[in-house]
Structure 1
Amino acid sequence: MRFAIPADHPCLPGHFPGRPVVPGVVLLERVVEAIEAVHGPLEGLRLPQVKFLQPLLPGQPARVELDGEAPRWRFRVLREDTVLASGEVVASRETP
């Protein structure tokens, strides 16, 4: 699933004023949307042991890659980049 958080998203003015970054909770919302797009609505979905490795800035294109099965999904949020064909990891849950 590809996405970009627009610069006018309501979470950005407070995170951080003058130099906004996309909050982790917004990234995780996109991960949940990607999981539910494949598996349907899931009540009580948990995503433990997430690592946030790089900031994602407003407007930067990104994508969610999923792997694994419930309840131990693995995922990566990748910043799309024209230089790095595979993208740069922004957040992940790699532990099975």
Structure 2
Amino acid sequence: MTESDSAISVEFTIGEAHPCTSGHFPGMPIVPGAFLLTKVEDAIINAFPGKTISSLKKVKFLNILRPEELASVSLQAKTENLVIFSIESQGTQIASGRAVLASL
């Protein structure tokens, strides 16, 4: 995890054999959007102890992520309970949105 000017970035790679790619799609696997959101959740939980996601807003999936491609989740806290997130790979934005946080 790297941190600069209140922005946090976490890199990840999903292996081709990961169960989330099964059926998405045979011969041309992609990482499902729902699984990408679990990476956002993991990053938020690690970056903001004592917080959980209460809702996601304005989530957009703009491009696909293929297994074995290096990607990163970037987080920027806008307020105590609002985080802007982005997922990027090789200079391409994969997804973006807002996470509304609540205290545990």
Q: TM-score, normalised by structure 1?
A: 0.82
Seq. identity, %: 38
Distance of 2:59 and 2:87 partners within structure 1? 11
Kindly tell me: are residues 20 and 70 of structure 1, through their superposed partners in 2, closer, same or farther at Cα, counting changes over 3 Å?
Answer: farther
Please give the secondary structure, in 2, of the residue aligned with 1:91.
strand
Write 1 or 2 for the structure with the bigger share of strand: 2
Q: TM-score, normalised by structure 2?
A: 0.76
Partner of residue 72, structure 1? 82
Task: Answer with 40-49 or 27-36: which moved more.
Answer: 40-49
Please give the secondary structure, in 2, of the residue aligned with 1:46.
strand
1:88 aligns with 2:95: no
Deviation of the 1:42 alpha carbon? 3.6
Aligned length: 89
Q: Name stretches of at least 5 consecutive residues in structure 2 with no aligned partner.
A: 1-9, 99-104
What letter corresponds to residue 74 of structure 1 in structure 2?
Answer: I
Kindly tell me: are residues 22 and 52 of structure 1, through their superposed partners in 2, closer, same or farther at Cα, counting changes over 3 Å?
Answer: same
What letter corresponds to residue 35 of structure 1 in structure 2?
Answer: I
Kindly tell me: are residues 40 and 13 of structure 1, through their superposed partners in 2, closer, same or farther at Cα, counting changes over 3 Å?
Answer: same
